Structures are given as C-alpha cells and as structure tokens.
Amino acid sequence: MTHSFFAGAACGLLLLAAARLAIGQRQRDNRWLLIVILGAFLYLLRPLLNDLNSLLDLLIDLPTTLIPGAFWLFTHQLCSEREPFPSWGWGVIGAELLVDLASQLHIHTFFYLLAQPFKLGLIGAGLVTLLRQLHCDLVAERRMLRVALLIAIGSYMVIVVCAEFLFSYLPVPSGIPTLHALMASILAFSACLWLLALSPGALDESLPPPSAAPDNQGKTLLSAPEPLEEHQRQLLEQLQQHMQNGGYRYTGLTIRELAEKLGAREYVLRALINRHLGYRNFNEYLNQYRIDEASRRLADPNEIHLPVLSIALDIGYRSLSPFNAAFRRRHDMTPTEYRRERIPA
C-alpha cells in the first residue's frame, strides 16, 4: 500500500513536470527530456498494472527502454552548443534498443546480460557529457542543472539499473520497492519545485533558443543586452584591453585565473561574458581571439615558414587537435587549407 502511494505520487509529479515542459516546447526543444520523463512515468506505473497481455506489456516498456539513450541525447543537447550528435552515437543507441528488445522478448539469456552494460554505457556517456567542460560553462542556470543531473538523476539511474540486474538473481528485500518509490517521489518533487517555483526559467536559460543561432565565432546571437552599470563597463573595458594585449595566449587559461588577473569576482565575469558578449562557453570566447590571430598569421607570407603546430602553441592551444577543430568551426576548412588558399604557391 505504501509503495503504491509513493509510486502514484511520483507519477503525478512527473506528469506535472511533463506538462510544464510541453508548454515550453515551442520556445525550447525539450523532446529528449520529455521522453526521459515519460519513460520514468511508465516505469513507475508498470508495477501497478496487472494482467496485461504481452503486446501491451511491450508497448508500455518501450519508453522505459528509451531512457538511457534519451538521457545521453538530452545531455548532449544541453552541453554541446548545437554541435551535431555523433553518428556513431546513434549506432550505439540503436544497438542498445535492439538488444533490450531481444531481452524483453526472452530470445536468449545472453541478451539480458548484454543489455545491462549497454544501459550503463549510455548513462555513463551522458554523465561524461555533463562533466565535459563544466568549468567553462558561462550559463549559471545550466551549470546548476548539470550538477543536479550528475548528482541526482545520473546516480539514481545507475543505481536502478544495477539493482534491477542484481535482484533478477536474488530475492528482493521487502522494503526495497517502497524505498525505490520514495526516492522517485523525492526526485520528482524536487524537479517540480525547481522547474515551477525556484527557477522557472532554468531550462529556458540552459537550452539554446532555436531563434538564436550561434555565429561563426561561436557566440549566440542575442537580443540587445541590458545597459551596463559603471563597474561592469569598467570591467568590460579592462577585459577587452587584457585580451587585445594577448591575455588569451596563456595555455590552459581558466575563467577563474582570468578573474584573478583582472581583480574581479568570477561570477561577475561569467555573467558579463555570457549576458553582454553573448558567449555561453569560455573556451569559445578564447577561440574568438585565438582564431583571429591564427588567421592573420596563416595569411602572412612572412610566417609561411612556421609550422601550423607552432602557431597553435603560440596562441594558447595545448595541441593541434583542438586548434584544428576550432579553426574548422570558424572557416569550414583546416589551417593548412586556409594558408594554401591565402598564400598560393
């Protein structure tokens, strides 16, 4: 009875969160998060449904099967600034769905054993995506969301997958289903409280709007920012002067180190670069200056003797790979192709 109460409460809260997300679907693409919520809803509802035929059983379980892949897709959408999802990732998600389907159809025990590592792998990929460049994220609401997803949702899903696998071979202790439903209720209540009361604009701040595409320098084209206060204007002038003097060339420069050099508070500098300059990622802000200098030097006949790697190291990159990636995003060609085009043989 207690289990049913908490499971029902969690389902109701998840429906409330889904309704909130669906209302904002036109402003932000929430589809992957909605799939995660729908899968969680049916996962919690499933034990409360009895005497279902096998086909209906399979249809109810399908959204739950989509949760690990949808979680990875959502984290990529949240963190990757409109970079396309890797094609190999779609293949991994497709393979996981096929293996999980074969497991549910009881084709062979092997598929059930294989499905669990697949699920953990997709969830792990989502957690790695949330961790990647977390310190470079300039959007305050998104950083909070990433940390919350890492600590609460990601950890919870890992525990659930491992527990399901463990208790498929061992008897389930009497209090575990109730504890599971209670934890789900707490997480669902926290999500609703955050989305509807504490930070109703969190997802709007976190997900890039479809109408504000990033330009070729990696910043998001925003509407006119609010007027700067005097201390913000002074900090902006100091920042721009520091960057024009080559401050971006420091290898491994972090926003915390930059704030210390400017004598500013880190959160103030983050907000300034994000809200007034339009950058959502600190590395993309640095890339603006670095790629500007690299473009000038690659087009300079007096520096044609310098290897591309030397230029990349001079302007602050640790290796050639991130430089090539940033350069290609700006010019849609490699540094070598750019130099060859600007300085014909």
What residue segments make up the domains of the chain, in order of their start? 2-206, 230-342
185-226 pLDDT tens trace: 888 888 777 777 777 667 777 776 655 445 555 565 455 566
Give the tokens for residue 5. 């109460």
Mean pLDDT to the nearest integer, 248-261: 93
Phi-psi domain of 106 (left: phi exceeds 0; alpha: psi -120 through 50; beta: other):
left
Q: What is the pLDDT of residue 308?
A: 94
Angstrom distance (rounded) from CA 333 to CA 59: 46
- The region of weakest confidence among 158-162, 166-170, 278-282 is 166-170
**Can you give 147-203 as a three-state secondary structure string?**
HHHHHHHHHHHHHHHHHHHHHCCCCCCCCHHHHHHHHHHHHHHHHHHHHHHHCCCHH
315-337 pLDDT tens trace: 999 999 999 999 999 999 999 99
CB atoms within 10 A of CB 289: 19
Q: What is the pLDDT of residue 151?
A: 82
Tell which residue, 156, 138, 136, 160, has the closest CA to residue 148.
156
Q: Average pLDDT, whole number, for the chain?
A: 84
Angstrom distance (rounded) from CA 246 to CA 315: 8
Q: What is the pLDDT of residue 275?
A: 87
Angstrom distance (rounded) from CA 80 to CA 214: 12
CB atoms within 10 A of CB 107: 12
More confident residue, 185 or 28: 185
- The region of weakest confidence among 8-12, 22-26, 134-138, 240-244 is 22-26
Q: What CATH fold (topology level) applies to the domain 230-342?
A: Arc Repressor Mutant, subunit A (1.10.10)
Q: Are 314 and 302 in contact (CB under 8 A)?
A: no
Tell which residue, 10, 2, 7, 4, has the closest CA to residue 190.
10
Q: What is the pLDDT of residue 310?
A: 94
Tell me which DSSP letter residue 54 carries.
Answer: H
Is residue 41's pLDDT more than 90? no
Q: Are 248 and 317 in contact (CB under 8 A)?
A: no
Is residue 118's pLDDT more than 80? yes
Mean pLDDT to the nearest integer, 259-266: 93
Mean pLDDT to the nearest integer, 91-119: 87
More confident residue, 175 or 149: 149
3-state DSSP percent of the chain in helix, strand and coil, to 5: 70, 0, 25
